[in-house]
Amino acid sequence: MSPPTEEQCEQARRVLMERAKAELDGMRTPGVADTMLSSASDFGRPGVEYVLRNAFEGIWGRDGLEKKYRSLVVISILASTGKMAQLRSHVGIGLSNGLTEVEIREAMLHVAGYCGFPSGLDAWVRAAAPSVRGRVRRHNEALVKTFEVAQTQVQLLGSVVVSGGVQGLITASEVSS
């Protein structure tokens, strides 16, 4: 068997890059990989390509561990090594991959216990907590809006029941839906 031609090697690199881009786009906003590549300078582009091929195709694309658990591993490693900028990004990826706020909090406490409180608490305060708080804030705002709608419906139904009985209740439910 002869060694692969340069054209075959280039084709293999393109296939790996497409897999890497699909993996990253699946965890983030679709098109983010192309944006990263197109916005990279001539100096930075090889680094972006390296990260995409090796991290997202070579590691994230593997079988054997669900993405949720890969996220938990990455978050713990980044927190323990003090890589706060990447930690912020990977907390968002972890939430998208199915981690809960409680699981992320527990990971930070675990990091604090095994890597030292400065590492765990710094990760908590500077990276994980703001990302999680943003997600929780949006969730809570949605709950408040749902509660306000429900409260309005209850008030509407209450006034209809007082003034119109059962027939009025049916009309109110038709109006509020």
Give pLDDT tens digits for 84-109.
888 988 988 898 899 998 899 899 88
Full set of structural domains in the chain with CATH: 1-62 (no CATH), 65-147 (1.20.1290.10)
Neighbours of 122 (CB within 10 A): 19
Gap between the Cα atoms of 43 and 49, Å rounded: 11
* pLDDT tens-digit series, residues 22-78: 888 888 778 888 898 899 899 999 999 998 888 888 899 899 999 999 999 999 999
* Cα–Cα nearest to 93, from 28, 137, 158, 45: 28
Against a cut of 0.75, is the pTM above it? no
